[in-house]
Amino acid sequence: MSDDVRDAGLVAMISSILGGNKRADSVTPPPLAEVPPTAPPKGVEPIKPPVPEAPPLKSVDAPSTVPAAPPVERPAKIATTPDGKRLLPAEAIADLVLGELRKMEDFPATGASVTVYGYRHWNAMITFAPFSTSFQNATRFRQALPDLVFKLRRFVELEI
């Protein structure tokens, strides 16, 4: 799809939202109010903010005392089900699905979103922003999604 066709479609969509079939060129913005520039009166110097002084430099020979780093917290243990599946929130599962889809050829870098829904047998839905991909590619990605969800269900359970 050429850029001219995309632009024409985008202009048509915006113009229909903003007011029917009116062209956007016919609408002119109201004139700006004329405000004279303000300048300090003659003989008065502008106020300059004070320049902060730099802290004194330390000697290279002096031993440096670096505060000890706070102890690193271990990540929380990943919740799992009795059958060994990881329990993850819907957003994390959506990121997993989207990450797997991005490995496919011609998957758009932006404009795609995945929604995870359900409970026991969770599912995923993919949506595309206008002009982010072609119809044929979107169909191909939508057809690959059920297989991907089926494989991920074996390892991941939706956390409620």
**114 and 102 in contact (C-beta within 8 Å)?**
no
Tell me the per-residue pLDDT of 4-33, one tens digit each, with 9 for 90 and over: 666 667 677 776 666 655 544 555 555 555
pTM of this structure: 0.51
Contacts of 116 (CB under 8 A, 6+ apart): 90, 91, 93, 94, 97, 122, 123, 124, 158
pLDDT band at 92 (very low <50, low <70, confident <90, very high): very high
- Give the pLDDT confidence score for residue 140 in this predicted structure: 94
Residue 74 has pLDDT above 90, yes or no: no
